[in-house]
Amino acid sequence: MSRKVDTSDLSQLSEEDLRYLQSRGRLTPEQEREYLGEQENKAPEAPSLEETPYTGDENTAPSVQTNDGSATLGPDDYEDASNDRLKEELKRRGLSTSGNKAELIERLQAHDEGE
Digits of tens for pLDDT over the chain (115 positions)? 567 777 778 888 888 888 888 888 888 888 888 877 755 455 566 766 666 666 655 555 545 555 555 667 788 888 988 999 999 999 988 999 999 999 999 999 998 888 6
pLDDT value at residue 52: 66
Question: Strand ranges (DSSP E) for 26-111?
Answer: none
d(CA 2, CA 37): 24
Domain boundaries, the chain: 10-39, 75-114
Q: What is the DSSP letter of 42?
A: P
The CA distance from 110 to 103, in Å, is 10
The pLDDT value given to residue 61: 52
pLDDT of residue 20: 83
State the Cα–Cα distance between residues 69 and 63, nearest whole angstrom: 11
User: Alpha-carbon distance 6 to 12, whole Å?
Assistant: 9
pLDDT of 43 reads 59
At 6, phi and psi to the nearest 5? -75, 115
What is the dihedral sign for C-alpha 104, 110, 72, 77? positive
pLDDT at 25: 82
